[in-house]
Amino acid sequence: MSDTVVVVVERDELVQLIEAALRSAIATQVSGVEWVDARSSGLGRRLFQRLAREGAFPTFKRGRSYVAKRSDLDAYIESQRVPVDPPQEPEPPQPPPSLHDPIAAALAAGRLRVVRKRP
């Protein structure tokens, strides 16, 4: 005779038990090493495989595929971050050519243009 146990609980208690089990499983997974492959890396299959072949981050061969630690992959991605330059202040507007120079004023107004003679 088998030892079969049937437990009857209320719906709310069952939900709490499931939530507690999930929290425990997630906490265990977070504290352990998480391994990712080309499909679960978030980089895309081809990019992950190319970077793995190039040695961009430490990988291990598992069968025909590469696997890497999530922490190594995250460190590589962080190292590739492009620094954001602070916003450049706009250049101050150039003062208009002085009015006492009629050639410069005509050039600025577009009434005059410079033409080169051909030899």
Give tens-digit pLDDT for 93-111.
776 655 567 777 777 777 7
What is residue 33's predicted lDDT score, i.e. its pLDDT? 63
> Which of the four pLDDT bands, split at 50, 70 and 90, describes residue 15?
confident
3-state helix/strand/coil string of 70-115: HHHHHHHHHHCCCCCCCCCCCCCCCCCCCCCCHHHHHHHHCCCCCC
Count the residues in the chain.
Answer: 119
67 and 59 Cβ atoms separated by less than 8 Å:
yes
- Cα(84)–Cα(73) distance, integer angstroms: 22
Confidence of residue 10 (pLDDT cuts 50, 70, 90): confident
pLDDT at 48: 92
